[in-house]
Amino acid sequence: MSEQQNHFENIPTGDLDIASIFGADAQTSDTDPFAATPAPAPEVEQPQPPAPAAESEQPATQPTAEAPAADDPLGAAFAQKQAEADKAAAQSLFEKPPVFAYGSAKDPIADPAMTFEELRIAKSADFPELGEGKRVSWSVEYGKVTKTITDPKGKTIKSVKEEIERSKEFLDGLKRAKDKNPDCLVKPRVTAQSKGIADYKGVFSSVEEARESNKTICLIPATDGKVYEMRKTDMGEFIAPKDKVVDFQEVRAGFTPALPLVPQSLLQQIISFFRCFMEENHEFEALAHILWDREQETFTVYIPPQQVSKARVEADLPRNRFSEERYLHYADIHSHNSMAAKFSPIDDGDERATRIYAVVGRLDKFYPDLTVRMSCGGTFQELDPGLIFEGVGEEFPREWREHVTTPQSPRVSAGAHRSGLYYALGKEFFTPGEDL
């Protein structure tokens, strides 16, 4: 076999333009250009940035406020009913009329389309202090919202109520409030009064204080119980007792009980106790204390140790005779046996503490006499016994009264059964014109 010949050995390699043959990107390395071209490498997929969570993912559990899933028909029905109930409650609240509220008086406003000024005029007949519009200001309290009215003549009550109902403050407060059905309260307030003491007048506790003031007229209460008026002039200082001080409020002495009436049965027991010291030849006084039991909320009687005679009682009053935390010493009641039910000078000296005092006299009669008074720091004021004790009157048939005619018969109301005529231990009380 003949030796193989190389036909390219005589071609000068230095004169070959490799770039023009294989292109500008050809490699000039020793790699054989006629070698098989390797397969292209697969493209590597570039990672994409993750989509926002709100768009790519759903929460694992639905919020409780959303409607239940379709596979829970019972929950969906309950939610629908609850929504309907809330809507009905809100509609009922918004349909409630506003309420006029002044002091302890409350009255639904039948025509909320009226202005606040028109409401003031309508109510001034019952509340004369609302008579002057410039002295009255208005506010509306609705739930947790309070709104001051700056234009009472132009604003209607209905418009203010609806304005509050649409506010976020009202709706948010309603969600948090325990009372889901509040009243819309329309409240007037008297902001100025012409009553009182004028700028040139003043009330002072001493003459020296009045002299140092810049007031022309000074009112000074004195130890004799009178009120004196001082007037400062260029001529000098004048002081005289003031018979009628129109600058002060009228005050009447009296007693307003905070406890119920002493039961008639308890009073009868005390009278029976007093009568046991009424013998044929000997008569003695006696003393009883009427206490209020704070725990049981009832009256009870305490008889202190005492030495008695015809006209005197010497009682021993130890400090620990009863628990003052539990028992309130409400009244003292003592007897005058067959003597009149009048307080004696001895009684005046003994009965100085602030409480109620009573004396029972003429125990020899079927109905004894009873006199009641109070002591206010040692100052006495006689009281109607019916203010402290139950009367002895009982109900009687209405027909009895209808058979009696008097020159000025009081009006007898229909359906009444209680007498206006009753006896309180021998004293007769009757109020003409009283509904019986």
The 10 Å Cβ neighbour count of residue 124 is: 16
pLDDT digit string (tens) for 287-319? 999 999 999 999 999 999 999 998 888 888 776
Residue with tokens 């015809």: 310
In whole angstroms, give the CA distance from residue 188 to residue 137: 6
In whole angstroms, give the CA distance from residue 84 to residue 90: 10
pLDDT digit string (tens) for 202-260? 899 999 999 999 999 999 999 998 999 999 999 999 999 988 777 777 888 999 999 99
User: pLDDT of the chain along its 436 residues, tens only?
Assistant: 445 555 445 545 555 554 544 455 545 445 554 455 555 555 545 555 555 444 444 444 444 444 444 567 777 777 777 666 666 666 678 889 999 999 888 999 999 999 999 999 999 988 888 988 888 999 999 998 999 999 999 999 999 999 999 999 998 888 888 888 899 999 999 876 555 566 788 899 999 999 999 999 999 999 998 999 999 999 999 999 988 777 777 888 999 999 999 999 999 999 999 999 988 788 999 999 999 999 999 999 999 999 999 888 888 877 677 788 899 999 999 999 999 999 999 899 889 899 999 999 999 999 999 999 999 988 999 999 999 999 867 778 888 988 888 886 555 443 333 333 333 344 333 333 444 4
Is the whole model's pTM more than 0.95, yes or no? no
Q: What number does CATH give the domain 264-387? A: 3.40.140.10
Residue type present at position 420 = G
CATH architecture classification, 95-190:
Roll (3.10)
CA distances from 16 to 12, 13, 19 (A): 8, 6, 9
User: Which of 385, 238, 270, 414 shows the shortest CA–CA distance to 334?
Assistant: 270
Structural domain boundaries in the chain: 95-190, 201-241, 264-387, 398-430
In whole angstroms, give the CA distance from residue 408 to residue 319: 56
